[in-house]
Amino acid sequence: MSVRKLKPITPGQRFRVVNSFDTITTDKPERSLIAPKKNSGGRNSQGKMTMRYTGGGHKQKYRIIDFKRTKAGVPAVVKTIEYDPNRSAFISLLFYADGEKTYVIAQNGLQVGQTVTSGVDAAPEIGNAMPLSKIPLGTVISCIELRPGQGAVIARSAGTFAQLMARDGKYATIKMPSGETRLILLTCSATIGAVSNSDHQLIVSGKAGRSRWLGRRPRTRPVAMNPVDHPMGGGEGRSSGGHPRSRKGLPAKGYRTRSKVNPSNKYIVERRKK
């Protein structure tokens, strides 16, 4: 994967940095694995706007992703690496030996024609999904379950990965993408390797219109609002009084909002760095 900086032949391309998509092998999704996706424009069932700054954007179809990898012991061949408009990571199409097709999150280094598998007996190779109890210590992992059978919920976006640090009793110690160290049950599964499209963070859109294509509408800065509209509004010129707060008055920018009596606090070994 690599990025390209365009020549500034138009104002919108002056600072544009694009993904070269050199690992993408096709632009036609598997028809049996796509579903319609309806956009709400930020409105609820009454038609009232409940989410600001969303709406418009290009029409998208949802790709049905297999986050659970439940076909244990059945080998699958990677047929394609594809772009998915619903996520920052690339996805890969798997053809299983029994004829079933599924989409999974693609890992860095996954190649077309490669064979991947899942389950207890899988080898610790890129693209294979296996329980944390069977993964060697120090391995880079992604697409991690938080509860057994739940499906991958952690480290699914482009370029993210976690690391298996230790095992003790029925828990594994995982260093999360945020830097937090956390305990997860050994029966939870994870996929070997980091998530694909690691250059996603280097991309520069170049113009406002490209955000509109993604369904993002212009956002008003809180300090430009009036006091009636936002706690950070008001003031003369560029000055704004008060402490940083959200629209609802919750303190922001460093204030910890996590509950001190959260039941999952006992699984966190070390908090992420501020």
Percent pLDDT > 90 in the chain is 85
Enumerate the H helices of 131-260 as residue ranges: 208-213
- Sorted by where each begins, the domain ranges of the chain are 22-200+264-270
211: which DSSP letter?
H
Please give the pLDDT value at position 259.
93
Specify the pLDDT at position 257. 84
Amino acid 73 reads G
- Looking up tokens 């501020």 gives 274
How many residues comprise the chain? 274
Q: How many CB atoms lie within 10 A of CB 92?
A: 25
Question: 22-200+264-270, which class in CATH?
Answer: mainly beta
91 to 29, 102, 114, 143: CA distances (angstroms): 10, 10, 14, 12
pLDDT digit string, tens, across residues 152-197: 999 999 999 999 999 999 999 999 999 999 999 999 999 999 999 9
pLDDT of residue 151: 96
Give tens-digit pLDDT for 25-43: 999 999 999 999 999 999 9
pTM of the model: 0.92
Taking the C-alpha atoms of residue 118 and residue 82, their distance in angstroms, rounded to an integer, is 21
The segments of the chain whose pLDDT lies below 50 read: none
Q: Give the pLDDT confidence score for residue 2 in this predicted structure.
A: 87
How far is residue 42's CA from residue 239's CA, in Å, rounded to a whole number? Answer: 31
Rounded CA separation 240/255 (Å): 19
